[in-house]
Amino acid sequence: MPATKLQRRFEQPPESVRPDLWGVTWTLQQFSDVVGRDSGWLVEHVLKPNEFDLSTDRDGPVRYSTGKGSPWKIKARPMAYWIEQNWDRIQGSGWN
């Protein structure tokens, strides 16, 4: 039976995944550079549609910008793991 939104939690990467990214935080622009997509497109087609799963409010790797100078903050190691698992959708049309 598939997990519901209430049951889902962000899947943390195994300890051995990308140890070079421990403690690294990406900006939205750095995330864009890693993925090779425009940051505006990533916000609209990847980050916003997955906010429930990716938000730091639910133990995910992304602190969403609230505007008024509040920058995006992305935990690099768990996000790199998530990118790897969702590469086809990210490089396709996203979630919209």
pLDDT tens for 46-64 read: 999 999 999 999 899 999 9
**pTM of this prediction?**
0.82
**Which H or E run contains 85?**
helix 76-85
81, pLDDT greater than 50: yes
Q: 37 falls in which pLDDT band (50, 70, 90)? A: very high
Res 10: pLDDT: 76
Is residue 95 exposed (0-12), middle (13-18) or buried (19+ Cβ within 10 Å)? middle
32, pLDDT greater than 50: yes
Joined tokens for residue 36: 């090779």
